Chain A
Amino acid sequence: MTDAAPLAIETRGLDLWYGDFQALYGVDVRVRAGIITSLIGPSGCGKTTLLRCFNRINERYPNVRTGGVIRVLGEDIYDPSVSLIELRKAVGMVFQRPNPLPISVYENVVFGLRVHTPRGELKRAALDEAVEKALTEVGLWKDLKDRLHDRATTLQLEQQQKLCIARLLPLKPDIILMDEPCSALDVEGTRAIEELMFELRGRYTIVIVTHNMAQARRASDECVFMLLGKLIEHSRTADLFLSPKEARTAEYIEGRYG
């Protein structure tokens, strides 16, 4: 990471505790804008915890404490002047299990707009346009244009997960966080989501947590390897898999543990 591409996310000395248990130890990570960065490592290494720091969704749990600095798009997200709502608007998140809301497909896509715009300013035509645009972008429009008012929870899992990505887009996020987005999907679904990630690449910064090393290898530009709450190695994906600098990375990639 010698080139001076703008940083989307940067942390310095990030510590995180769940009660007495320390889950992250002094993590310094620099995620470059516009590319796909994957977080890999064995279960419990803190990769999901790290991801959930970037939109402060970790704070839902009452006993979480963080230390250190997290800068997203150049701003310290714990600065009192930064609005949590605006942060989450700029940093979208896709979850492990597809979690469309139990409302119609249409309402799922415009949920973000409804939440962020005063009621009077929402025009039907603008909403319709946003729905068509977002669903087209994730490749669902052709399949779902006649089912916009079906309940989103009745879709197939793959469609649900694409919908969960689509509902982020009307808010024009800069960063999309994905927490093992394919773990509930079959091979076809996984392929579809990965293709979608490639299409979104460039316009959005994507950070993906994955359990699946092969997925990290085929679907990411840079790769962060974590172990026991520490960041071990961060380099271009090809370099990390072909010539890891750290012995622990090499052993994990070879499947000695994890």
Chain B
Amino acid sequence: MTAPAPAPRPQRSRLERLGESLLEGLIRLSGVSAIVFVLAIFFFVFREAAPVVFSRNFDLWKFLFSIEWYPTSASNVRYGTFALTVGSFAVTALAMAIAVPFGLGAAIYLSEFCGRRLRETLKIVIELLSAIPSVVWGFIALTVTSKLVVDATGAAVGVNVLNGGVVLALMSVPIIVSIGEDALKAVPDSYREAALALGATRWQVVYRVLLPAARNGLLAAVLLGVGRAVGETMAVLMATGHAVHIPGSLLDSVRTLTANIAAELGEAPVGSDHYRVLFLTGVLLFCITFAVNIVADLAIRGVRRRG
């Protein structure tokens, strides 16, 4: 032998290769499982609701657009969810009207204006805020904010749209702040530097550079806040007064879709029409959040195309 033969390339053992393909399969499975679970949830909820949808005396139009919700009436049972839908929208809209300015403002402050020590402290506090269980928020709504609402507005009852909106806003703000701050932090520092070097003030940097650059992330933050507000059940159940009617003012009591399900499902006999209609309400809720997400997605794409 004149030259040493090149050493054979080391082969990985069969076990290692098997382990790797197993791991890959596992990861793929976890990815797919998200889709499977969503479909499964939709399927099982809809399966419970299906018999009433296909029964002869069910009227989809009335279910969606009648305000008469009398599930336990002895003579004339009526299942109209419109007042509940309006209740959900009213409380959510008010919550967002409060939470979006505060949440985005706090996110901007945290990411652009405050010192490092204060930022760390505030972030911990905000995380604590988001860790409070919704039942506890419900207690706060019932005992603290409802009294404040009565004192401030002179309303007859403190549990109403305003009260629910305020509590939901308090619950959504932490999400908006943390996602919004991440979105702002993700804007490359070179943009800030470019604007500052052109003589922009910090505030000009925020509204001329950062807000446009981070708008997708900020929109996502707002929508996650909306999602939290629409889906919230326990706190709104305790905060809004639970009256089924279309609110005429902020000081009227309402009931939301979610609170209605939570309150009545325990009392509806399994398999009864009432039980099935409550599941159908769940499907409706599912469709509403789905629509919100799609609209948001389209909005983001539209924004991106124009920008």
| A residues whose Cβ falls under 8 Å from a Cβ of B | 55, 57, 60, 62, 84-89, 92-93, 95, 97, 99-103, 111-112, 114-116, 151, 164, 167-168, 171
Residues of A within 8 A of B193 (CB): 57, 60, 95, 99
Which of B190, B198, B213, B307 is A111 in contact with, Cβ under 8 Å? B198
**Known contacts A99-B191, A102-B191: A85-B201 contact under CB 8 Å:** yes
**Known contacts A62-B116, A102-B213, A103-B212: A115-B191 contact under CB 8 Å:** no
Residues of A within 8 A of B204 (CB): 115
B208 within 8 A of A: yes
- In the assembled complex, the CB of A205 is this many whole angstroms from the nearest CB of chain B, namely 16
- In the assembled complex, the CB of B303 is this many whole angstroms from the nearest CB of chain A, namely 12
B288 within 8 A of A: no
**Known contacts A102-B212, A114-B208: A171-B191 contact under CB 8 Å:** no
Q: Are B199 and A115 in contact (CB under 8 A)?
A: yes
Q: Are B208 and A115 in contact (CB under 8 A)?
A: yes
Count A/B pairs, Cβ under 8 Å. Answer: 66
Q: Mark B186-205, 1 if CB is under 8 A from A, else 0.
A: 00101111111111110010
Q: Are A171 and B194 in contact (CB under 8 A)?
A: no
B209 within 8 A of A: yes
Q: Are A55 and B197 in contact (CB under 8 A)?
A: yes
CB nearest neighbor in A for B190: A99
**Known contacts A57-B193, A60-B193: A171-B199 contact under CB 8 Å:** yes
Q: Are A99 and B194 in contact (CB under 8 A)?
A: yes
- In the assembled complex, the CB of A207 is this many whole angstroms from the nearest CB of chain B, namely 14
- In the assembled complex, the CB of B204 is this many whole angstroms from the nearest CB of chain A, namely 5
- Residue of B115, B196, B208 ringed by the most chain A CB atoms within 10 A: B196
Q: How distant is the Cα of A73 from the Cα of B198 in the complex, in angstroms?
A: 17
Q: How distant is the Cα of A249 from the Cα of B124 in the complex, in angstroms?
A: 53
Q: Mark B161-205, 1 if CB is under 8 A from A, else 0.
A: 000000000000000000000000000101111111111110010
Residues of A within 8 A of B213 (CB): 101-102
Residues of A within 8 A of B115 (CB): 62
- In the assembled complex, the CB of B187 is this many whole angstroms from the nearest CB of chain A, namely 9
**Besides the known contacts A88-B197, A99-B194, 5 further A-B residue pairs in the complex with CB atoms under 8 A apart:** A95-B190, A101-B194, A101-B213, A115-B198, A171-B199
Q: Mark B131-145, 1 if CB is under 8 A from A, else 0.
A: 000000000000000
Q: How distant is the Cα of A86 from the Cα of B193 in the complex, in angstroms?
A: 16
- In the assembled complex, the CB of B115 is this many whole angstroms from the nearest CB of chain A, namely 8
Q: Are B196 and A88 in contact (CB under 8 A)?
A: yes
Q: Are B195 and A111 in contact (CB under 8 A)?
A: yes
Q: Are A86 and B199 in contact (CB under 8 A)?
A: yes
Residues of A within 8 A of B208 (CB): 111, 114-115
Q: Are A112 and B199 in contact (CB under 8 A)?
A: yes
Q: How distant is the Cα of A168 from the Cα of B197 in the complex, in angstroms?
A: 9
Residues of B within 8 A of A164 (CB): 194
Instruction: Identify which of residues 35-63 in chain B touch chain A, using a CB-to-CB cut-off of 8 Å.
Output: none
Q: Are A168 and B198 in contact (CB under 8 A)?
A: yes
Residues of A within 8 A of B192 (CB): 60
Q: Are A95 and B198 in contact (CB under 8 A)?
A: no
Can you give 23 A-B contacts (C-beta < 8 A)? A60-B193, A60-B196, A62-B115, A84-B199, A85-B199, A85-B201, A89-B198, A92-B197, A93-B197, A95-B190, A95-B197, A99-B188, A99-B194, A100-B194, A101-B194, A102-B213, A111-B200, A115-B198, A115-B200, A115-B201, A116-B199, A164-B194, A171-B199
